[in-house]
Amino acid sequence: MNKTTRLFLLFLVLSTPAYSQVVRKYSDDFLEIGVGARGLGMSNAQVATANDVYASYYNPAGLVNIPNTIQLGFMHNEYFAGIAKYDYLVVAIPVTPKKRVIGFSFYRFGIDDIPNTLFLIQPDGSINYNNITSFSSADYAFMFHYAEALPIPGLSIGGSVKVIYRQIGNFAKAYGFGIDAGLQYQVKNWHIGLMAQDVSSTFDAWHMSFTDAEKQILLQTNNALPANSLEITTPMIILGGAYEAFIIKKAKQTFSVLPEINLAFTTDGQRNVLVSAKPISMDLRAGLELKYSPAKDIDLILRGGVGNIQRATNELGKENFMVSPSIGAGIHIKIVSIDYALTNLTTISSASDGAGLYSNVISLRVDINKKQKE
């Protein structure tokens, strides 16, 4: 842990009263969902090949592949069939084309209009529906990104500094800080990527602010009173590899196949993933992209992927694996790219009874002030 991180952690502890420290599994999990319809359509298998403005999330080292232009990206995700709203805005600015790039991104993942029924039942035991109010639970993240190409051809590094703000109505709020770091290497058609999320560990300082009346109701209903705490997110290491094969490669027409596999190693304890162990578990993400370019600056793309592999027990008591496949499509015309992804496909069959938790994702990428000569 470096000096800056230690000072920040000390500041968090001293600036708020009575914080207990805890390492939580799936802490800050809104930052593990993924961004952009390209990545989500490939089940987040992007560490090795992310090469546009959305690389700021998957591997900031990939930002050096942005051409001599400012890139803007925006994503809207109707998560879990619209239960939650997930929005992402990002900009990348080449400082030195193909050598140094900076970027800024903003996340919001929120569930709005949650009923607050704490005062539904009055002291005399009667029910008063007029006492029902609503609140939002929202997570925000602000990030600064930097990428630089190294003297070795095809090798680049990058990093991100993130500030996190989380709020649950008027009941709780948290401030957090963390660092990510990544590396990419490309030789011919091979791509290799390494991403260390929360490499510094990420610290969220939670502060609870319940009124006396709310505390009394929680205690009367046998609920524990939430306490101030310092939540720690431990590092996740992702290793990825990909190979781009060109079926057609002409001056004005190409057709390529790009498979990628990522291995994600978590360090927060045993998880229900492909390889479940203590303290490190490993998950597998695999994606495939088919891209046809019938003319210059025009791309037509199909994608698919599998991830989120978990063990489950069926009605007969037999254990098997479950996966969450995804599909997607995209079109790129000159300076505009529009992508769509449909994730959690296994839940679509349950949509008729309201249980379908699939997600529709739409993302946009725009190049600004693109120069013809770089």
Cα-trace Rg, the chain? 23
Residue at 17 is within a domain: yes
Q: According to the model, what pLDDT value does residue 18 have?
A: 47
Q: What is the pTM of this model?
A: 0.85
In this structure, the number of other CB atoms found within 10 A of the CB of residue 3 comes to: 7
pLDDT confidence of residue 22: 62
Q: What tens digit of pLDDT does each residue of 108-137 get?
A: 999 888 888 888 887 777 888 888 888 889
Q: How many domains does the chain have?
A: 1
In a domain, 124, yes or no: yes
The residue type found at 22 is V
98: in domain: yes
Instruction: Look at residue 26 and tell me if it is in a domain.
Output: yes
Query: Residue 238 corresponds to which tokens in the numbers above?
Result: 């992702």
Cα-based torsion angle of the residue sequence 266, 267, 271, 275 in order, rounded to the nearest 10 degrees: 60
Domain with 310, as residue range(s), is: 3-368
Query: Is 374 inside any structural domain?
Result: no
Beta-carbon-side half-sphere exposure of residue 252 (alpha carbons within 13 Å): 2
Output the six-digit token pair for 225: 């009173």
Q: Mapped to the 3 state alphabet, what secondary structure does 43-106 carry?
A: CCCCCCCCCCCCHHHHCHHHHHHCCCCEEEEEEEEEECCCCEEEEEEEEEEEEECCCEEEEEEE
Look up tokens 């619209």; give the residue. Answer: 82
Residue 169 binned pLDDT confidence (cut-offs 50, 70, 90): confident
Q: pLDDT tens, 316-353?
A: 777 777 888 999 999 999 899 999 999 877 765 554 44
Instruction: Estimate to the nearest angstrom the gap between the alpha carbon of 194 and the chain centroid.
Output: 16
In a domain, 373, yes or no: no
Q: Is residue 343 part of a domain?
A: yes
Rounded Cα distance, 172 and 166, in Å: 8
Residue 104 lies inside a defined structural domain of this protein: yes
How much is the pLDDT for 23?
Answer: 64
Strands (E), the chain: 20-23, 70-79, 84-96, 100-116, 133-149, 155-168, 172-187, 190-197, 202-208, 229-233, 236-243, 245-249, 254-266, 281-295, 298-313, 319-333, 336-343, 359-368
Q: d(Cα 49, Cα 279) in Å, to the nearest integer?
A: 29
- pLDDT, mean over the chain: 85
Q: In CATH, what number is assigned to the domain containing residue 42?
A: 2.40.160.40
Q: pLDDT tens-digit profile of 254-310?
A: 999 999 999 999 988 888 888 888 889 999 999 999 999 998 889 999 999 998 888
The tally of CA atoms less than 13 A away on the side-chain side of residue 72 is 8
The pLDDT assigned to 8 comes to: 39
Taken in order 43, 49, 55, 61, the sign of the CA dihedral is positive
Distances, alpha carbon 221 to alpha carbons 216, 316, 346, in Å: 9, 37, 37
Q: Are 141 and 178 in contact (CB under 8 A)?
A: no
